[in-house]
Amino acid sequence: MLKLKYLFHNSDLAEMILKNWSYDPESLDMFRYYRISSNAVYPFRDQGEISMLRFAPALEKDKTNLSAELEVLSYLHQCQYGAMEAVPSRAGTELLEVQTPWGLYFASVFKRVPGMQLSSTDLNDQVLYNYGQALGKLHHLAREYTPVRAKRWSYTDVLDWMQDILRGFPDETAAVHEVKMLRTHLSTWPVTKQNFGFIHYDFELDNVFYDAESQSCYAIDFDDAMYHWYAMDVEQSLDSLREETKPEQWEQRKQMFMQGYWAEEGERYDMESMFPACRRFANLYGYVRILRSASEHWEHEPDWMSGLRSRLAERMNEVAQGFGQAII
């Protein structure tokens, strides 16, 4: 998540950056459908086809991670995996560093993927099976992937990043202890080609699109990708699915997702025993990101920002309740 000061809509900035790519000028009215969270994303058209401009302040991103993301996406397309596709700029590059009056920004453009977000479907058995299948195929391909130019960071890098951020918040002793607990616990886990590798990390319902005609899934937003145990991706996906599922439907939906996953992923192993620690990792990572993003305050903040602060604080309080408990 970007710092709150970067969440303001800025169509002038978006247009300045977009001019580095080909686009239909009359499509700039689509900017009103923007969204900003971990990046600013502005839709537009080029020769009638919808694409997405994604950008973020250079201070908020790591160039190596961004380059590695684009390299992975290229590999996935070579393997005919359903994922977002980068569009080269007028200069022929997929990642640009753009100097603007608001500072230096990293920017890329991606073609819109087919279908609709899984969260907008009825999540029937076929959809859920294909959802799990898509994640299983991603992990299967990840096993054979070797970075050439750049490599995404790993879970240990993320733990280091969290520890570094928490140094600026001396009262966050419980969160610091949680980092140490997780580091110790995860250090005992076996790292094998079967259970560890490149993961999406955010393979949630909003980041996977389902095309009913081809019965295929397409993944977007690899911005949080890292090297971790594959169980982390599965836990994140199931957690997202659980939020959209009635209790009486849960076991059936979980079973359909896992059937699809193992159909592609291959030989089964005890993944579910890893879920509790993966959930603790995700909760802590989210907590520290919110802590950093919301640390600055200003007088006379707009209502939307005050409301967002309240929701983020509520989420942090909820997560903090689990800090320090024994990791099963």
- pTM value? 0.96
Task: Write down the pLDDT at residue 195.
Answer: 97
Q: For 73-108, what is each residue's pLDDT tens digit? A: 999 999 999 999 999 999 999 999 999 999 999 999
Give the mean pLDDT of 225-251: 98
Determine the CATH number of domain 116-320.
3.90.1200.10
Does residue 52 have a pLDDT over 90? yes
Give the mean pLDDT of 256-271: 93
Residue % of the chain over a pLDDT of 70: 100
Does residue 328 have a pLDDT over 90? no
Per-residue confidence band for 265, with pLDDT thresholds at 50, 70 and 90: confident
Give the mean pLDDT of 107-120: 98
Does residue 186 have a pLDDT over 90? yes
Q: Which CATH topology does 4-111 take?
A: Phosphorylase Kinase; domain 1 (3.30.200)
Pairing of strands 49-57, 35-36: unpaired
Average pLDDT for the chain: 97
- Whether 116-320 and 4-111 are alike in CATH topology: the answer is no
Domain ranges, ordered by start, for the chain: 4-111, 116-320
Per-residue confidence band for 132, with pLDDT thresholds at 50, 70 and 90: very high
Q: For 13-51, what is each residue's pLDDT tens digit? A: 999 999 999 999 999 999 999 999 999 999 999 999 999
